Structure 1
């Protein structure tokens, strides 16, 4: 059964989606944040009244927490949400995780790696060019004792964070919107808007403003949604999202970044408007390259979804 069409069954009630998203994603995040909150409380108590809240709440060094430990604590809530989400989708919708990912086939790891390679080359190439053009805007802060653990933590754990977001927004929610509206475009746009709004709590938004920051998150949501529709599954989106966050974690941070890691480079000044335009260009290139590579047909985006004659359940 095709990816979006999998949700055309008798288990597609709106209240189920509200509950799964609330309990699975949001409540799962809260439960998974307990270790992080506990560590923060212990650290703040030790300051004995001298603690001052940092401008960036994700700056774990301000709490006396090793940034690598902080990164691990930040990923735990996503792992919790993913586990709870998979169980709830199975219970409420009788849909297993493979059906959310691509309609029920085996996970296409070659598509995951395709997303990793194509987006990794594009975003990694931009990082390199930006550094070569404006080296004075970056501080090299290589420290082997913190950088090497960072690489292992990022490669092993950050794909779980990215994969969780893709599971909920490009997988589960896209299927639900598609089944309710029978529109491929709305199944791209509505989850993309919700995805962007979820990130409105990030420190970048507080630093640069809501309307300046949202275009970047929305671009990610739309481009990953388009690839998921055209590729009939979210594997490419998982790969691209993962490599984007892994490279950012390892190679680049700034004072307003949600990823406050001992990255190789610290960016002194960030120009969000420029970043938004660059991201849009890279997103178009990403789609073009994958379209040529995979022989996608864009007319598929405008074709209405049809309910399968026989609903398959596993």
Structure 2
């Protein structure tokens, strides 16, 4: 079972505290400063982008996750003395086929749905493709975005999932706790400021979906591929001036965002369909035990 893979290292529950305290402390401090300083996040990003350009600003933000992932791996490997393989999967070795399956599954969905939206409502998009800026963006994004998404998966669905599971001796507490924390982590994003706190439901729902596929599949591979595709294809294909990820993408979405069906569609339809596809492909069984059972 994936969660008890954490027992392969030197557990010591105190060892699970410094990394989450440091990370959430940093996130909390960042959010507090925006409130204390009455900072308009979208306006601040606009100023930074005008000074540095979209690609440099994007690269600087992504580079921070290189340090975070390296720090997490160092802590797991040398403080917990746990192998990175056991943090990734319960299988004898990492199944890269699973990573690439969800990557290409979601990539196909994003590309097709974006093209449908573009051709049905072309007035909502600007065709922004510029070969040189795009190629520079692609090189940086392909290198750094998977590192960013991998950190979030290893931290939430890996490190915290295993630590909370071992502490609580069940699966439902880490599943829901990591999903909520994953959603709250996005609270300072400019799209939350633009649309409203209701958008956190989407992020929490996304975290829940990623947590479910991690527990049902007994490993992080599916979540790693899914998350990487979501962020990488988005920054290359279509961005908007009110989101956290603003790049020299192929399309710029100029439509006015709303807190309506766009938020509910993934939670009520898209994610359940993906769960059905994955459950059939990987023959998942014992859902209640794997999601809510005791360890």
- TM-score, scaled relative to structure 2: 0.87
CA distance in 2 between partners of 1:90 and 1:28 (Å) = 23
Q: Kindly report the root-mean-square deviation, in angstroms, between the aligned alpha carbons of the 2 structures.
A: 2.5
Residues 218-237 of structure 1 correspond to what in structure 2 (within 5 A)?
218-237=204-223
Aligned counterpart, 1:3: 2
Show structure 1 runs of 5+ residues with no match.
Answer: 30-51, 307-314
Structure 1 counterpart SS, 2:139: helix
CA contact (8 A) 2:2 2:219 kept: yes
CA distance in 2 between partners of 1:56 and 1:13 (Å) = 44
CA contact (8 A) 1:111 1:235 kept: yes
CA distance in 2 between partners of 1:303 and 1:94 (Å) = 28
Aligned counterpart, 2:234: 248
CA distance in 2 between partners of 1:192 and 1:93 (Å) = 24
Residues 54-69 of structure 1 correspond to what in structure 2 (within 5 A)?
55-59=42-46, 62-69=49-56
CA contact (8 A) 2:195 2:258 kept: no
**Shift in Å at residue 178 of structure 1?**
1.3
Show structure 2 runs of 5+ residues with no match.
Answer: 28-38
Report the number of matched residues. 283
**Shift in Å at residue 239 of structure 1?**
0.5
Q: Residue by residue, what CA displacement relative to the aligned partner does 1:149-177 show, whole Å, maximum 9, x if unpaired?
A: 11222222101100010010010101112
Is the alpha carbon distance of 1:10 and 1:95 closer, same or farther for their aligned partners in structure 2, counting shifts above 3 Å? Answer: closer
Residues 156-305 of structure 1 correspond to what in structure 2 (within 5 A)?
156-210=143-197, 212-268=198-254, 269-280=256-267, 281-297=269-285, 298-302=287-291, 304-305=293-294
- TM-score, scaled relative to structure 1: 0.82
Aligned counterpart, 2:34: none
Aligned counterpart, 2:32: none
Aligned counterpart, 1:19: 18
**Shift in Å at residue 254 of structure 1?**
1.1
CA distance in 1 between partners of 2:245 and 2:9 (Å) = 41
CA distance in 2 between partners of 1:201 and 1:53 (Å) = 10
